[in-house]
Amino acid sequence: MKRVLFFLLIALSLMAGCASNKAFVEGKRMVAEGKVEEGFARLEQAVKESPGNAEYKTYLYGQRERIINQWLAQASTAQLNGQFDEAEAIYSRILKIDPNNPRANAGLDGLARERQHKKQLDEAQALLQKGSLDEAQTLVGQVLADNPRQREAKILQRKLNEARPREPLASPQLKSALARPITLEFRDAALKAVFEVISRTAGINFVFDKDVRPDLKATIFVRNTTIEDAIQLLLVTNQLDRRILNDNTIMVYPNNPAKQKDYQELVIKNFYLANAEAKDTANLLRALLKTRDVFVDDKRNLLVIRDTPQAVMLAEKLIASQDLAEPEAILEVEVLEVNRARLENLGFEWPSQIGYGLLQGGSKTSIINDSGVVSETTTPGSTVAPGVIDLRAEPSRLTTFIANPALLLNLRAQDTNANVLANPRIRVKNHEKAKIHIGDKVPVFTSTAVVNAGIAQSVSYLDVGVKLEVQPSIGLDDDVTIDVGLEVSSIVKQVDFGDSIAYQIGSRAADTVLRLRDGETQVLAGLIQDEDRSSITKIPGLGDLPLLGRLFSSNNDNRSKTEIVLLITPRIVHNLILPDRKTSEFRAGTETSIGGMGAVGGGGVAPMAPPPAPAPAAPAAPGGAPTMVPVPGIVPYQPAPVTPPATPPAAPATPPATPAR
């Protein structure tokens, strides 16, 4: 009974071992076929059935770790690119084969936060477009508080900061209502008297530099214009400038370089450039804005300028229109070399020489003549007749005989059809060169004789294979102009020069310029090398006989044809995003005052726009009538009052009942 139980246990263990081995083999096959989840389930079953098998455990844990790391990298890339559904599917697959994987669980939690952040940022972007900056700032702040390194939130934060109305860089600001309308009509009046009128109307104090001439005259006729525009017109027409001292005081001084240095306030601005080169941008500012105080930090790609507030505002717009990301494209290249060859070697190969052998004595030895033909053999130790070669003295001649028999029949035909394929994908920036080399670096040894030093050897390397050089130019209409240089080379034969080695290189090259649409494929073909070689080895006279001559000749025909085919497809990753008109088109002031007269009034920088229609006469209503303040000694022009019609007249207006005479 004990023996029966013993043998039964052995049989059961053998059956379990066979079952676990089957599960292990099936699991490996499924993993190799891409059925990862099912394969790991079978492998785990094999490990459970054979817990002591180290091979099963090693394979299971090693393969699982490798695949999990690969999937984690794919999920992280998808998450960074905003492909949340794809990342979630990958994390779920990881948890199926490793339910307690901490990185996969953390990745799913991060996906939930990323989805919430994406929703908040989309809402903030919509609010920014509507102009609700405070609400958008609240949402962006919540995202940055949860993840300070969130890239889209940081970009949107910068947009919000730029969209907010900034206070001018000059610290003092007037608090008076300079936008109120005023009417001034003076002819050859004293300039200071005109400023006195404005001072009484706007409540602004004017302080004049000692070098302002007291005899300056002003002629101005403006109606319903703002006080700020009127002040600017008076300053410009009299070669004067101003500086705001406090909230209700303006300093007026002559507009010359010496006074500008004394009164003009300067500001410093740092520009961290993301795409443009700091040196090129500095040259741009020097050329257009005449900025002299510019510092360039190439290491941080930083630009620091010191200039007037108006010039700094212009510099911001210039840099915003220049600091744009370079376009990029992925070039999908396929190089195909089609090689077709046919070799035929048919016929009898006869010896090219006939020799003789002599016998000497009764002994025999192996004797071979100069043409490699055995004549006779004699016994070793006997003498050999003159002109006969003794194999004991030159045994290598026997090898020559074996390798070069007297008669050969060539029956050889060979067909070759080869394809050499290279399919690289390369990402390249606009106007930058990219080089691809697929092949070998062949060493070339060179010996050089040096006086009093002997022989010096050096080695250099020669590139052989497929060499491709491309340079794309990406247009705004998604057209890509590609400068293509293709060279396919191979070693034809090796040439020895004493101690030096050289190679004969066969090469085919093509240089061209293509213009393709995004995603369009162009085929370059026709680089064909066609060879047809025939050679006949025959016995003179006998080989020329009709029909029978084939028995005394050997034909060698070699035909080969090689063609190079290039397929290239550009795919634009991102193109240049042009700035809007407000950023790329703006007023820049005058030649002598950069930004000083960007628009009539305030010296601000305003975008170009068509001139507004003339404003209608202000109605005579309290608080809205144009202000006219009399000045002693000055008689301003008083126009006759005009009563505006109730509706736009289609005919001359009806005169009043009691016209003035």
pLDDT in tens, 285-295: 998 888 878 99
pLDDT of residue 149: 78
With a cut of 80, say whether residue 190 has pLDDT above it. Answer: yes
Please choose, from the candidates 379, 373, 378, the residue with its C-alpha nearest in 3D space to the C-alpha of residue 351: 373
Residues 271, 305: contact at Cβ < 8 Å? Answer: yes
The CA distance from 186 to 634, in Å, is 8
What's the pLDDT band for 9 if we cut at 50, 70, 90? low
In 3-state terms, what secondary structure has residue 516? strand
In 3-state terms, what secondary structure has residue 329? strand
pLDDT of residue 129: 85
pLDDT, average across residues 425-442: 86
Please choose, from the candidates 175, 114, 170, 171, the residue with its C-alpha nearest in 3D space to the C-alpha of residue 146: 114
What's the pLDDT band for 618 if we cut at 50, 70, 90? very low
Q: How far is CA 592 from the centre of its chain?
A: 41
pLDDT of residue 418: 55
pLDDT tens for 369-387 read 444 444 444 444 444 444 4
More confident residue, 587 or 239: 239
The CA distance from 264 to 592, in Å, is 14
What's the pLDDT band for 483 if we cut at 50, 70, 90? very high
Within a 13 Å sphere around the CA of 453, how many CA atoms are in the beta-carbon half?
8
What's the pLDDT band for 527 if we cut at 50, 70, 90? low
* DSSP string over 394-459: -THHHHHHHHS-S-EEEEEEEEEEEEEEE--EEEEETT--EEEEEEEEEEEEEEEEETTTEEEEEE
pLDDT tens for 337-370 read 777 667 666 666 666 655 544 434 444 444 444 4
Bridge partner list, 268: 306
| Residue 640 DSSP one-character state | P
Q: How far is CA 18 from the centre of its chain?
A: 57
Q: Measuring CA to CA, how many Å separate 506 from each of 461, 465, 466, 644?
A: 16, 10, 12, 94
More confident residue, 68 or 413: 68
| Residue 527 DSSP one-character state | E
pLDDT tens for 71-120 read 888 888 888 777 888 888 888 888 888 888 888 888 888 888 888 888 88
Q: What are phi and psi of 389, to 5 degrees?
A: -95, 130
The CA distance from 634 to 116, in Å, is 71
pLDDT tens for 24-57 read 888 888 888 778 888 888 888 888 888 778 778 7
pLDDT of residue 635: 38
In 3-state terms, what secondary structure has residue 17? helix
What's the pLDDT band for 652 if we cut at 50, 70, 90? very low
pLDDT, average across residues 591-603: 53
Average pLDDT for the chain: 74
> DSSP alpha helices (H): ranges in 324-395?
none
pLDDT, average across residues 161-179: 64
The CA distance from 104 to 90, in Å, is 9
Q: What are phi and psi of 282, to 5 degrees?
A: -65, -40
Name the burial class of residue 424, with classes exposed (0-12), middle (13-18) and buried (19+) by CB atoms within 10 angstroms of its CB. Answer: middle
With a cut of 90, say whether residue 13 has pLDDT above it. Answer: no
Range of lowest pLDDT (99-108, 110-119, 414-423, 650-659): 650-659
In 3-state terms, what secondary structure has residue 139? helix
Range of lowest pLDDT (122-136, 244-258, 531-545, 641-655): 641-655
Query: CA-based diameter of the chain, in Å?
Result: 169
The CA distance from 103 to 87, in Å, is 13
The CA distance from 282 to 287, in Å, is 9
The CA distance from 37 to 287, in Å, is 65
In 3-state terms, what secondary structure has residue 1? coil
pLDDT, average across residues 308-313: 86
More confident residue, 416 or 487: 487
pTM for this entry: 0.54
Count Cβ atoms below 10 Å from residue 124 Cβ, excluding itself. 27
At residue 453's C-alpha, the angle toward residues 447 and 458, to 5°, is 25
Q: What are phi and psi of 11, to 5 degrees?
A: -65, -40
In 3-state terms, what secondary structure has residue 352? coil
The CA distance from 48 to 42, in Å, is 10
What's the pLDDT band for 14 if we cut at 50, 70, 90? very low
What residues have CB less than 8 Å from 523, skipping those under 6 apart?
Answer: 565, 566, 567
Percentage of residues in the chain having pLDDT higher than 90: 6
What's the pLDDT band for 254 if we cut at 50, 70, 90? very high
With a cut of 90, say whether residue 274 has pLDDT above it. Answer: no
